[in-house]
Amino acid sequence: MSKTENAIGEDLPYKDEPIQILPNLYLGSELNAANLHGAMLSGVPLVVPATSDFKPLKYKKIFWTHNQENLIADFIPAFAFIDEARSAGRNILVHCQCGVSRSASLIISYVMKVNRMTLNQAYEFVKDRSPYISPNMSLVYQLVEFEKTLK
């Protein structure tokens, strides 16, 4: 089994590189984040891990589980970190284990906020760029609640 395959031999998402969602904002997996050398070479020095056991040079760690509730409170500090990097012209990688649910939900919420999009619009916007996203239902419900705060 290679590093780009899971236990049953399926290819993992983002096996080659993270995907750019907005200028300076990338979505990927822990495999991308673990490859700091590759990330540094492509100009991605900042990382937002939504998983454990990773310590990049500069990061904002969010301790999320797949079924955790009340994540909206974590959005604001994460958004500030992302905004700081983007406004300085620095690339930032947002990831969780696979880049499919938790980190995708954070990216969707960020796109909703900065692009003033509905949840459906932001989901489609991100999905057009990354076919791998698939937030779990718990996170979708929280994104629905977040959407209400933006109105």
Q: Is residue 98 annotated as part of the catalytic site, yes or no?
A: no
Q: How far apart are alpha carbons 71 and 73 in whole angstroms?
A: 5
25, 27, 44, 96: the catalytic one is 96
Query: Are the CB atoms for 48 and 92 separated by under 8 Å?
Result: yes
What string of DSSP letters covers 5-17?
A: B-TTSPBPTTSS-
Coil vs helix vs strand at 62: coil
Catalytic residues: 96
